[in-house]
Amino acid sequence: MAVYTEVTDEDLALFLSAYDLGSVLSLKGIAEGVENTNYLLRTQTGTFILTLYEKRVNEADLPFFLRLMEHLASRGLVCPQPVKARDGQALGRIAGRPAVLVTFLEGMSVRRPSSAHCEMVGAALAHLHAAGSDFPMRRDNTLSVHGWSALFAGGRDRANEIAPGLSTLIEQELAVLGEFWPQDLPQGIIHADLFPDNVFFLGGQLSGLIDFYFACTDAFAYDAAICLNAWCFEPDASFNVTKGRAFLAGYARVRPLSDAEIAAFPVLARGAALRFLLTRLVDWLNVPPGAMVRPKDPMEYVKKLRFHQRVTSARDYGWLA
């Protein structure tokens, strides 16, 4: 989440004229995140998140995301729900951007996840994979191995401004992962961005998942590898094997991993680290002037990538056969 586009009072009034939400009480920009413009909207009838889609989101993909959230909720997963206008449509436009209102979820994200948090997240991710098993729509993952070279093109010439030798490191990693990326693993709907700021807890329990705008069709184990990268490293980028063990155990309790997925996990984790290194690199180098956004440090994922390069098996992540 972030704020790239300013919404004026006139913009908001015109947009909300299509809804029956009562008078506006407040509208506040949300600075966290880097992808879309987000506002916290309070009206006489409730609290909502207003999202304006920017950057990497293709407008043609929006029906997929909105219908997916409705589908997952119908299968018992707690996630935001699109709010429909009087004409029955959830997708509208505001300030020249495609936009949607979604329901507000109670709870808070955690800044320093514990092993218990990691175990709950592992189970929730597996529940998401199961809940999406009969979702009829498909969306290819444009930010997986086949898209990384094109993504790197947006930062290749300036990568060494961030760290000497970074461009060479990425080039070498692209070559290795392109050769060894696993094929034919179990796949379906994945979240693809389940970071701590996209998971809410309330009263010590996981209360909901948000931000499905990278959701796509890809390998379930790749999604688990993304999640492990996001949840199981300490602030100094050292891997916490206790958290890794808890996360993997929570996931496997709901959806057991196949032998092929377990064998592929080190390469998948390495690829997941490269994917977020690349998007953070491009974002770091291309912050629009005046945008209320906090780009995330790509060097965090350089350190994680270095760890994965030394891993020899899933046991190094805490996997217990």
Domains with residue ranges and CATH for the chain:
9-103 (3.30.200.20), 115-317 (3.90.1200.10)
State yes or no: pLDDT of 314 exceeds 80. yes
Check residue 211 and give its pLDDT: 93
State yes or no: pLDDT of 34 exceeds 70. no
**Contacts of residue 163, Cβ cutoff 8 Å, sequence gap at least 6:** 299, 302
Check residue 35 and give its pLDDT: 74
23-27, 114-118, 214-218, 288-292: the lowest-pLDDT one: 288-292
Check residue 30 and give its pLDDT: 87
Q: Are 42 and 22 in contact (CB under 8 A)?
A: no
Confidence tier at 292 by pLDDT (50, 70, 90): low
Check residue 36 and give its pLDDT: 87
Q: Are 49 and 211 in contact (CB under 8 A)?
A: no
Per-residue tokens: 147: 């898209």
Check residue 2 and give its pLDDT: 58
Q: Taking all residues of the chain, what is their mean pLDDT, rounded to a whole number?
A: 94
Q: What percent of the chain has pLDDT over 90?
A: 90
Check residue 1 and give its pLDDT: 40
Q: What percent of the chain has pLDDT over 70?
A: 95
Check residue 289 and give its pLDDT: 62
Check residue 154 and give its pLDDT: 87
Region 262-290: what's the mean pLDDT?
Answer: 92
